[in-house]
Structure 1
Amino acid sequence: MIAFGRKAKLIIDKHYDSCSEQSPLARLYDLYDNGYVLLLGVEHENNTSLHLAEYRFYIRNNIEKNFINGASVINSQTNKPYWFQWNDYDYHSEDFNQIGYAFDSIQGNTNIGKVGLAQCRLMKQHLLVDFAINWMNQNRMK
């Protein structure tokens, strides 16, 4: 993640977990009631904000972390890479298009248009995340 502007440090600081409450996605949700998601030429299955909704769905339903995630990171003191692992949720995007299209179907939620030749979607992030959590509660819990 990358951020610019006077709140950039606040948004990207403490980004220890992929899509948790410590992620830049959660900071945008918390700080910017009018923050937007813009999908440029991709469908909802590529919408990372839906992973924030998924994380919150897992927490609210007491679903356990069951996936070991890892990344190569650089030690800031030695400037040498090392492998860092953490326990995380096994995120899935298979139903993200269903969630997104259901969200789009509600009048006023999504502005659909073109940038060049790419079909694009613009939506308020907090509305999408809240909608997705409710959708997951109704459809993933079956």
Structure 2
Amino acid sequence: MGVYYASVWPRWSDMDAYRHVNHAQTVTLLEEARLQLIYGEGARHGAGMVDGGLVVAKLEVVYNAPLFVNGEPFRVGLTITRMRVADFTIHQEVHCGPSENDKIGVVADVTLAPYDLVNERPRRLTEAERDFLAGWRSGSEESV
């Protein structure tokens, strides 16, 4: 598998006075793309990590070019670049349009940690979760 591609649609309210997606709203679009991978594909593959909870441990975003609201979705490529016992990192690249040929406007790395909502503490990834995530690893992953 390697790279998962999501389409995210910006909303009118995401736009700022310059007609591009506000930086804070970009973080929401990044989240929507991650949820397509984790909830959508994860559920199809039997990885129920979101049943217990998942929290953002770290988020780094680099804004290379504006994302203009023009009625088209943005293409977002997602890969797993690091997987450890109790967290994993997703690398995301947001194209300025729906095509793989559109330039990359935003690059983000987010570290997510599974969370036990009942006991209110972080938990380890299950074997099913690790197997699912391994299918989306890039060639330069780091595992512990």
Both proteins in one fold, TM over 0.5: no
Structure with the higher strand share, 1 or 2: 2
Q: Which has the larger radius of gyration?
A: 1
TM-score by length of 2: 0.29
Structure with the higher helix share, 1 or 2: 1
